[in-house]
Structure 1
Amino acid sequence: MSVPPFTPAPGGFVTAVQLSDGQFLVEGWSLNLAPSDGGETRHEANFHFLTGNETEAAETVGEFIAWLDKPIDPRTP
């Protein structure tokens, strides 16, 4: 099994990197269409998790992808 370093999602993307101690750092990046500071559209790290092995990392990537089902847009109800 291999954990992809980059996985796109409708509302952003997920990154995964294996650390020197064998753990994986998995981060979910959300596309924010209307940041609160009034800046331009950007991606922001919203989820992160350290996993103990490759199986947990792959499961976490899948979980984060499900959470990133759409961009963040506080302008829409």
Structure 2
Amino acid sequence: MMRLVPFTPAPGGFVTAVQLSGGQFLIEGWVLNLAPSDGGEPRHEPSYHFLTRDETEAAETVSEFTGWLDRPLGRGAV
């Protein structure tokens, strides 16, 4: 049973956690990009990913990634 929250919002995006069939967890950090280099509309893009061995390491990684997503890309330091 997975006790992690599979979606963790952050000011600059969000983090997802998915338990894989082998018991590992895939953690991904998605950053909100307000000014993509291709000139397209603002969008979320994958920025960080990591495989963890167990739930404890997964929770630590989610916390770490959430801290990195402190503001959207393309936004000035306001």
Is the structural similarity TM-score above 0.5? yes
Matched with 2:3 is: 2
Matched with 1:46 is: 47
SS at match of 2:32: strand
CA distance, structure 1, for counterparts of residue 60 and residue 66 of structure 2: 10
* Superposed displacement of residue 2, structure 1: 2.0
Query: What TM-score, normalized to structure 1?
Result: 0.94
Where does structure 1 differ by over 2 angstroms across 4 or more consecutive aligned residues? none
* Unmatched runs of 5 consecutive residues or more in structure 1: none
Matched with 2:35 is: 34
Matched with 1:17 is: 18
- Opposite residue 76 of structure 1, the aligned amino acid is G
CA distance, structure 2, for counterparts of residue 19 and residue 43 of structure 1: 23
Query: What TM-score, normalized to structure 2?
Result: 0.93
* Unmatched runs of 5 consecutive residues or more in structure 2: none
Matched with 1:76 is: 76
Backbone CA RMSD of aligned residues: 1.4
Count of residue correspondences:
76
Identity rate, percent:
74
Residue by residue, what CA displacement relative to the aligned partner does 1:40-77 show, whole Å, maximum 9, x if unpaired? 0000000000000000000000000000000001x636
